Chain A
């Protein structure tokens, strides 16, 4: 039992904006009152629900490949030395599993969503997720380039496609569906990409990325996953890709959707020298279409490593940088590319990207629909979120940073005209309540009775970057895990999964295809439930 008294509570899920309230916790959840137990006096402090990261890459084949490819970073980064309660590890661009949990919790985050898992490496991903302590986790499986599924969509066998999709998600013990560059990664196997929604995908007769987007969104809604389709649009990163992005949003009308890292999809111009921000145009369309949510995928200057299932884009990035490149072909499911990258303020393209991420966060009116993310580690590492909070809350600081950018980008961005400053209430929305709602996790990002007792207590400081980087207390499921910057406890987190129903003949349909297409035995493919540590099965409710 635990009571937190006297703090200023910011709980957007229940409309509480900075009121002084007491919070009572029993058995890991909020209750109306408690008798006895420990009391934390939070007088003068700020209380947030535990942070929720809707889009990050922290476990599985791709991040592990990135770790292996960046040994130079391991040498210069923060080392976690083993103690009696803590495992060893390293931070940096691609932190190790245990360190990931410590770093997220240390920043006040208690739920993270691993946003890209090929079903083939789901087992590996779950093993790593179970080694990320403290935080609760969920994962999304990559489906928009799965050749079995694409064949069914091309033939118009949507009912069968739905059953197969349900079987894949169920087998992977995933929480939802991710679509990366729909059709583009399949086309990459022919050395091509899919940059528009209407051109036929290489290797197919009639199928277009647009068909894939619309049908996957529809199937996800029909299956009723708590989280809608999580879409990485076509034509990521390219100048002028705004038209593709708007076109994609049109294809999603009538369906729920979460558009990942829109920063990478909001560029105008014709080439790298003329590339400019189209965040204003994107935000205008987005504001008018409440069926969608997004996360910023903001960029911060510095070293990082980019990892994505978007193989063709990574090849382009490698050609542009001349740095290291890793490419994986994941049988008939998806691909994967890794390129270490440095975002430089002196680089015009990078400077535009930096501005676009902030512009989206500032120009999308509703904080319930745009969330804090850097697409870790693509735009920047997750442990740099407090820097973004400062950029959002302090227009002066933003202007100061803008003065360090090349003058020639000022007519390419709209950031200098934006005066909006986020309030603490809005920060609590984009960092916790909003992403929890988008993920369909009612018990997260919420300080109301019955919700999980994930609480962050900050000292109120003028330097918000320091404030959000150094919570005074972090409480996970009613247990004090961080106190005064020290890790106190490292409990295991849960894993949220869904187990959608599928027709009994689905396996009989898939087995012969499997034996023809996969290198793995059909029986070995689904991840056993015993492999998941602390599974927490969430209900699927079909969307009308």
Chain B
């Protein structure tokens, strides 16, 4: 399998917008055509090879190396292929993507997979805020797809998401599932405060005790069948979601009663 390797020459002084780095754009391009792709360094129009050493051509598989924390919009709108990133990466990674896979060995900044409609994003480090969220003003965040973050996550994870799955390994900050409309957020290590504020529908699962807002109503303890299915589905990513009756139960809280109250927060209580 051929790959295209991009190596950042040096970290740009102001943010570099590289929405051209997607398998869709480069799949049929020669090395020189890839080098000539347009990127925006602040307001300046530049070429991709002004910032990256490029190796390989005509492939749907891209590897990127370097300190990319000021490189934004990588994989924006991609629909196929794979992106493998080694290093910390900037905002809007995989935003609005509809398919393909992004893997990051490092941390990723805010707006990972914002408004995505399909595909898989896996971050082995920490994630920023607004993961899978709706952009400001927009009615809906991610509509499908999967985002897995091994480390921590920032504010407003899954804000206004409509469908799809987000799994966060370590602690999630405030307002996870803000104004959520559907889909599932799994917080393996719980969250800080105001989880599920304003949520209309959807499910938030916390595997650790977490603060529950006063507008959520306790509605029983049980082991929902769908969690079994979910747990088995997540096993393929090495994620261990508890579901066995012998191991414990989930407390269900219905909310946010400040709005429709059709959402749910499930908090795991081990035996």
Contacts and interface: CB of A to CB of B under 8 A. Distances in A.
B40 to A, nearest CB: 9
B138 to A, nearest CB: 4
Interface stretch (A65-73, A190-198, A475-483): A65-73
A258 B45 CA distance: 48
A73 B136 CA distance: 10
B73 to A, nearest CB: 11
B218 interface: no
Nearest to A74: B137
A539 B43 CA distance: 46
A75 interface: yes
B51 interface: no
Contacts of B45: 81
A73 B139 CA distance: 11
B134 to A, nearest CB: 8
A526 to B, nearest CB: 36
Contacts of B43: 82
Contacts of A70: 137
Contacts of B135: 71-72, 75
Contacts of A72: 134-139
Contacts of B134: 72
A323 B137 CA distance: 10
A80 B135 CA distance: 21
Contacts of A75: 135, 138
Contacts of B138: 71-72, 75
Contacts of A69: 137
B18 to A, nearest CB: 16
Interface in B126-180: 134-139
A82 B43 CA distance: 9
Contact of B136 (A71, A81, A82, A323): A71
B236 to A, nearest CB: 33
A71 to B, nearest CB: 4
Contacts of A81: 45
Interface in B41-61: 43, 45
Of A69, A75, A81, A323, most buried by chain B (CB within 10 Å of CB) is A75
A69 B138 CA distance: 10
A59 to B, nearest CB: 22
A82 B45 CA distance: 10
Interface in B25-48: 43, 45
Contacts of B136: 71-72
A81 to B, nearest CB: 8
Nearest to A342: B139
A323 B43 CA distance: 33
Contacts of B137: 69-73, 324
A72 B139 CA distance: 8
Of B135, B136, B137, most buried by chain A (CB within 10 Å of CB) is B137
Contacts of B139: 72, 323
Nearest to A81: B45
A71 B139 CA distance: 11
Nearest to B95: A75
Contacts of A82: 43
Nearest to A323: B139
Interface string A413-433: 000000000000000000000
Interface in A76-92: 81-82
A497 B134 CA distance: 44
A24 to B, nearest CB: 41
Nearest to A68: B137
Contacts of A324: 137
A300 to B, nearest CB: 20
A75 B111 CA distance: 14
Contacts of A73: 137
A70 B45 CA distance: 26
A69 to B, nearest CB: 7
B78 to A, nearest CB: 16
Contacts of A71: 135-138
Interface in A309-360: 323-324
Interface in A39-71: 69-71
A82 B42 CA distance: 13
Interface string A255-272: 000000000000000000
A309 to B, nearest CB: 23
Nearest to A70: B137
Nearest to B138: A72
A81 B43 CA distance: 10
Nearest to A73: B137
A71 B138 CA distance: 8
B108 to A, nearest CB: 20
A494 B138 CA distance: 37
A164 B139 CA distance: 45
A82 to B, nearest CB: 8
B195 to A, nearest CB: 24
A75 B136 CA distance: 10
B136 to A, nearest CB: 5
Interface string B105-140: 000000000000000000000000000001111110
A62 B136 CA distance: 20
Interface in B166-200: none
A532 B214 CA distance: 57
B200 to A, nearest CB: 11
A71 B136 CA distance: 7
A358 to B, nearest CB: 29
B63 to A, nearest CB: 28
Nearest to A75: B135
A73 B138 CA distance: 8
A324 B138 CA distance: 10
19 contacts: A69-B137, A70-B137, A71-B135, A71-B136, A71-B137, A71-B138, A72-B134, A72-B135, A72-B136, A72-B137, A72-B138, A72-B139, A73-B137, A75-B135, A75-B138, A81-B45, A82-B43, A323-B139, A324-B137
Given A71-B136, A72-B137, 15 more contacts: A69-B137, A70-B137, A71-B135, A71-B137, A71-B138, A72-B134, A72-B135, A72-B136, A72-B139, A73-B137, A75-B138, A81-B45, A82-B43, A323-B139, A324-B137
CB-CB nearest 3 A-B residue pairs:
A72-B138, A72-B137, A71-B137
